[in-house]
Structure 1
Amino acid sequence: MNQMLAMRVFRCIVEAQGFSAAAERLDTTHSSVSRNLQQLESVLGVRLINRNTRRMSLTAAGERYYTACVDILDRVDAASQAVTLEQERPSGLLRISSPLVIGTLELARWLPAFQERYPDIQVDLSCSDPLVDLVADGFDVALRICGPLADSSLVARLLSVSPLVLVAAPAYVFKRGLPRGVAELNDHRLLTYASATQWVLVGEAGESSTVDCASSFHTDTITALHACALAGGGIAAFTLATVQDDLLTGRLVRILPEYTLGQRHYYALYPHARNLPAKVRVFVDYMAQYYGARN
């Protein structure tokens, strides 16, 4: 027996004041209504309705059960309506895990417009470079910048592919000059990130050259690397997406623009695609549109 259905049938019998009227409201047969009530009474072990050929009335147990049914069914319907409305109008708390570079250097470009478009979504952003356990740590979605992603149980949507480029501040270039080839990088101050000891530069024809990084500045945070580059500390490597605004405004300039240090992939990761919450769906779509437009 479907007890929830039987409860709805019982409620309808009471409110329609009869079996035939209830069957008409429910678009079913008199016998189906009667069978649901009989099964419900059998499971409960009590008579809910006294009935004969002319009239029906609730028993004392039936009155109590009717009151409980109304409360339970109204709560269930309200919960279903709330979920449906959330799917139609994205809302609620959206927990995002992001690498530091996005949270500190790129967030200001996309977050205000996203919140303007979806004012009912509250963003909770956690910035750390190691990949978190989305399910165990309670995140809805993670943004990641890396090489091609290995297989995992997570759903991965590729947002963008951005080349890794060399840049420096105009003040640095004014003092030290522009390197005219890869070999001349050895005569410059190089700023490195994480465990980098070499740069492998790839030319437009696909040729590659390796530069040993005798770094004059090394850091494990991309924000410090960015600050040092802006201050004229030397030549550093960033994804084009990260420094695009700096290049457009002249705060940084490309070094050896005919070369890149490979590519980095921007991904949105989430636990599953089936019945994806609207708040996650619109965020991932928004990020795909944002980064796609910057390619």
Structure 2
Amino acid sequence: MNQMFAMRVFRCIVEAQGFSAAAERLDTTHSSVSRHLQHLESTLGVRLINRNTRRMSLSAAGERYYAACVDILDRVDAAAQAVTLEQERPSGLLRISAPLVVGTLELAQWLPAFQQRYPDIQVDLSCSDPFVDLVADGFDVAIRICGPLADSSLVARLLTVSPMVLVASSAYVFRHGLPRSVAELSEHRLLTFAGTAQWSLINDRDEPISVTPESSFHTDTIAALHACALAGGGIAAFTLATVQDDLHAGRLVRILPDYTLGVRHYYALYPHARHLPAKVRAFVDFMAEYYRLKAQG
């Protein structure tokens, strides 16, 4: 059995979150997907996926192997694509849908370099947090920040995974001090985003503690939440990718650094296409590189 294909099947099972969904994406049968996984586990001598009739989850070995598969397969695909498309120059209008946080807080960090690298691509960026219908609305690609994606007809490339962290401005900490425990959060001014009924804080032992924040400021835009936090309004939750530069510059500081509020996945989504346009591939590869370098600090 082709081990490279078996690796692709394993990756698809993980990203599709199930055997049936993976079989549909790969245009094969559930039994074929299962056989490829069994072959892979037999070859490696480890269980990659823990599964029963109701759910599946990656084993510790499976998590490590998945990360390696993604790296290897992306490199193999990139090499093949480079050979195939080396004569095609990325160009034309690129319609992008992105969350407000990417458009308002990160645009200046990636757009100038992207336009310098690909001067023949014209960017049309639409910023909104709700998911859009890429095909119906005419978008080439979308960036979304969310939990693990449900099964979709779209191709989803994971750009990065970022923990949610609590932060406050240095000025706020100077005036009000640092909370030393989760319980002490109730003594502080808390800033919340629309739809946030609870904060579920997780320590380094994966033990969750639920907090119902009594918000002193509530908003439906991340940009306003960010501005309020920078202005010393209180403690707020963001992905580390969003506030990493602020933390490095000292504009914000981590609050309860031993805790996170889970993680968020950054995806590039695009309609399934046999021959992906060079402009889309260029953008997705660029954003993957951008977030990879950002994660490295």
- TM, length-normalised to structure 1: 0.70
Change (3 A) 1:132 1:86: farther
The runs of 5 or more residues in structure 2 that have no matched partner are 1-83
Contact 1:197 1:214 in 2 (8 A): no
SS in 1 for 2:136: coil
DSSP 3-state at the match of 1:88: coil
Say if 1:275 and 1:87 are closer, same or farther in 2 by CA, change over 3 A: farther
How far is 1:273 from its partner?
3.7
Residue 107 of structure 1 and its aligned partner are, at CA, apart by 1.1
5 Å matches for 1:186-201? 186-201=186-201
Change (3 A) 1:179 1:242: same
- Mapped contact 2:161–2:265 kept (Cα < 8 A): yes
Amino acid at match of 2:217: F
Aligned length: 212
Q: Which structure has the bigger radius of gyration?
A: 1
1:261 corresponding residue in structure 2: 261
Equivalent runs, 1:1-295 vs 2, <5 Å: 88-295=88-295
Structure 2 Cα separation of the partners of residues 87 and 130 of structure 1: 37
Q: Distance in 1 between the 2:270 and 2:118 partners?
A: 19
Distance 1:282 1:128, change over 3 A: same
CA contact (8 A) 1:87 1:277 kept: no
Shift of 1:85: 9.2
Shift of 1:116: 0.5
Structure 1, unaligned stretches of length 5 or more? 1-83
Aligned-partner Cα distance in 1 for 2:144–2:89: 27
- CA deviation vs aligned residue, 1:88-132 (integer Å, no higher than 9, x gap): 110000000000000000111111101100000000000001111
Runs of 4+ off more than 2 Å = 84-87
Contact 1:156 1:270 in 2 (8 A): yes
Question: C-alpha offsets along residues 201-251 of structure 1, whole Å, 9 cap, x if unaligned?
Answer: 000111111111110000001000000000000000000000001001111
- Against the structure 1 CA distance between its residues 166 and 177, is the aligned structure 2 distance closer, same or farther, given a 3 Å change threshold? same
Question: What SS does the corresponding residue of 1:191 show, helix, strand or coil?
Answer: strand
**Residue 226 to residue 251, structure 1, CA distance change in 2 (3 Å):** same
Q: Which amino acid aligns with 2:138?
A: G
| Secondary structure of the structure 2 residue equivalent to 1:259 | coil
Identity %: 79
Q: RMSD across aligned C-alpha pairs, in angstroms?
A: 1.4
Q: Is the 8 A contact 1:189 1:235 kept in 2?
A: yes
- Within 1, Cα distance between the matches of 2:128 and 2:198? 24
Q: Secondary structure at the match of 2:134?
A: coil
Aligned-residue offset at 1:86? 10
| Cα contact 2:85–2:278 (8 A) shared by 1 | no
2:28 equivalent in structure 1? none
Task: Give the Å deviation of 1:274.
Answer: 1.2
Determine the C-alpha separation between the residues in 2 that align with 1:151 and 1:260: 26
CA displacement 1:7-36 (0-9 Å, x = unmatched)? xxxxxxxxxxxxxxxxxxxxxxxxxxxxxx
CA–CA separation in structure 1 for the residues paired with 2:145 and 2:109: 17
Determine if contact 1:147/1:264 at 8 Å carries over to the other structure: yes
- The amino acid across from 1:235 in the alignment is I
Deviation per residue, 1:129-174 (Å, 9 max, x gap): 1111111111000000000000011000000000000000011001
Deviations 1:15-60 (A, max 9, x none): xxxxxxxxxxxxxxxxxxxxxxxxxxxxxxxxxxxxxxxxxxxxxx
Tell me which amino acid in the other structure corresponds to 1:144.
R
Q: What is the identity, as a one-letter code, of the residue corresponding to 1:271?
A: P
Return the alpha-carbon distance in structure 1 between the equivalents of residues 260 and 117 of structure 2: 35
Secondary structure of 2:234 counterpart: coil
Equivalent position of 2:13 in the other structure: none
Structure 1 counterpart SS, 2:215: coil
CA distance in 1, matches of 2:190, 2:139: 37
Task: Work out whether residues 268 and 284 of structure 1, in 8 Å CA contact, stay in contact via their aligned partners in 2.
Answer: yes
- Output the amino acid matched with 1:168: A
